[in-house]
Amino acid sequence: MRAALLQIRVDDEEPVSDRVSRVLAIIGKVAVGEDPGIPVVANDDLASRGAPDVIVLPELWTVGAFNMEAARDHPVDLDGDPLIALGGLARSHHCVIHAGTFPEVAGADRFNTAVVIGADGVTRARYRKIHLFGFDTGEALELTAGRQECLTSTPLGETGLATCYDLRFPELFRRLTAQGASAFVIASGWPISRIHHWKVLLQARAIENQAWVLGCNQVGTHAGVVLGGHSAIIDPNGRCVIEAPTDIECVVLAEIDPALSGQARQEFPVLRDRRL
């Protein structure tokens, strides 16, 4: 199967409504294998081989992962737009869309919530980010932490969801693996200042759990933070299959064999020796 990561540019100067319209247009082209109008990072001639089965967007791409003021001003109704439009694209082109995360309001609480839309256009999973970044400031101060891990079926296999700072907590990934995960998708807004952590942690989570890891980051500058790009797909043996550059908005395309996770676990059955 084929996966596409959309490494979106998120700058404060671009109005939210303009960014949403622009990204929807990019998805519409990527979903049918057309030229998206931005660079495509792919192995060999993959870019010309048709449409992806899974499309992934980054964290809080409508407002910017570090822009809590914009998150307050532009909450997203998870039963409204742009999810309705994304559902229409998924249904029309028969692809699964991990829509990234959105600023969700639920009563008195506000969450950073990931949404996965099935190929029938119906929402299949929602995951509220458990580990909030900021050390009592920013997201950690403004938002409510989720309490439930999330596993959903995608063309990747049983897929565990995580968001950005979650990547630093291996316990989440091991719990998802114990529940049957053979792949992880991580929507992120990871800054350039710590991008070396991002790259190592993606590989670590893949190696530890012998699972596919798809990490979709963003680029641009918002709330004074420069984002670091390097969206990547890591195979269950920890090899980087494809990686985006640091500062370019682009589409990352790669072929994925979901069976490789099971093969890795059978050939090197380290998980069965776990004692703690």
Task: Give the pLDDT confidence score for residue 193 in this predicted structure.
Answer: 97
Contact (CB, 8 A) for 10 and 227 = yes
Query: Which ranges in the chain belong to alpha helices (H)?
Result: 16-30, 68-73, 83-93, 138-142, 170-178, 195-209, 259-267
Active-site position among 129, 158, 199, 243: 129
Distance CA 146, CA 232 (A): 25
Identify whether 208 is a catalytic site residue.
no
Percent of the chain with pLDDT over 90: 94
Q: Name which of 11-15, 134-138, 151-155, 236-240 the model is least confident about.
A: 134-138
Q: Stretch 26-38: mean pLDDT, rounded?
A: 96
Using CA of residue 239, residue 201, residue 258, residue 55, what is the dihedral sign? negative
Residue type, 83: L
- Predicted local distance difference test score (pLDDT) of residue 10: 98
Q: Phi, psi (5° rounding) for residue 272?
A: -75, -15
pLDDT at 134: 86
Asked if 164 is an active-site residue, the reply is yes
Sequence-ordered list of residues with C-beta below 8 angstroms from that of 236, at least 6 positions apart, any chain: 182, 206, 209, 210, 211, 212, 260, 261, 263, 264, 265
- Could you give the CA distance from residue 69 to residue 50 in angstroms, rounded to a whole number? 39
pLDDT at 136 over 90: no
Active site residue 59: yes
What phi and psi, each to the nearest 5 degrees, are found at residue 241? -75, -40
pLDDT attached to residue 138: 81
Catalytic residue among 139, 149, 158, 164: 164
Average of per-residue pLDDT across 212-238: 98
pTM: 0.96
Sign of CA dihedral 117, 78, 222, 147: negative
d(CA 184, CA 213): 5
The set of residues, in sequence order, having a beta carbon less than 8 Å from that of 230 and lying 6+ positions away, is 190, 195, 198, 199, 217, 243, 244, 245, 246
Question: pLDDT digits over 236-268, tens only?
Answer: 999 999 999 999 999 999 999 999 999 999 999
The pLDDT score that the predictor gives to residue 50 is 77
Domains of the chain: 2-268 (3.60.110.10)
- Average pLDDT value over all residues in the chain: 96
The letter for the amino acid at 68 is M
CA 193 remoteness from chain centre: 20
34-86 pLDDT per residue, tens:
999 999 999 876 655 679 999 999 999 999 999 999 999 999 999 999 999 99
Q: What is the structure's pLDDT at 48?
A: 56
Residue 167 has pLDDT above 70, yes or no: yes
